[in-house]
């Protein structure tokens, strides 16, 4: 929420029109979270599917924004790295792996949903204490995996973002 406020302030106070589009990605993801809360509180299926849709749209938007604006990729003019930048500190394979890992890291929520539904008890009759304990134990490991993947994604994001800022804002 504070990032969206920061982007809106940059747009309104400093007249950076691009920041309005940056704030839009946070608004979409915030609306997805609100739909998730409504679904879990009111059990209205429409909000579950709205959550999935908004989250997918928001993550796709965020992925494209990360690559083009935050990382400065796809700005290259050389023939051998036109999908990257002209000025790079790391070898090209690092950026390609980072592009793929960023995609996985942003959509790990969908993978986690699939994994938790795979381990869920199939019927309420199967919900013995041992089965429930095993399910929550599996969910705990899935969540730790998700946190680990997101932490690595954010670390890579920061490294490439700082490098992009160095080359583009150096005076």
Question: Which has more pLDDT, 81 or 110?
Answer: 110
Full-model pTM: 0.85
Share of the chain above pLDDT 70, in %: 94
Report the range out of 7-11, 40-44, 87-91, 121-125 with the highest average pLDDT: 40-44
Tally helices (H) and strands (E) across the chain.
6, 0
Per-residue pLDDT tens for 39-75? 999 999 999 999 999 999 999 999 999 999 989 888 8
For residue 98 the two structure tokens come to 């980072």
* E strand residue ranges, the chain: none
């Amino acid at each position: 929420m504070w990032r969206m406020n920061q982007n809106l302030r940059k747009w309104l106070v400093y007249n950076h029109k691009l920041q309005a589009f940056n704030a839009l990605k946070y608004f979409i993801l915030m609306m997805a979270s609100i739909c998730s809360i409504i679904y879990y509180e009111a059990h209205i299926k429409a909000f579950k599917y709205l959550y999935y849709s908004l989250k997918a749209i928001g993550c796709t938007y965020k992925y494209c924004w990360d690559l083009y604006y935050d990382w400065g990729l796809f700005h290259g003019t050389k023939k051998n790295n036109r999908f990257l930048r002209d000025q790079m500190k790391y070898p090209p394979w690092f950026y390609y792996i980072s592009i793929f890992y960023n995609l996985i890291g942003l959509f790990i929520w969908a993978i986690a949903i699939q994994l938790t539904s795979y381990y869920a008890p199939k019927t309420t009759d199967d919900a013995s204490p041992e089965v429930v304990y095993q399910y929550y134990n599996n969910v705990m490991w899935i969540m730790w995996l998700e946190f680990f993947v997101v932490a690595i994604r954010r670390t890579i994001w920061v490294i490439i973002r700082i490098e992009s800022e160095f080359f583009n804002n150096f005076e």
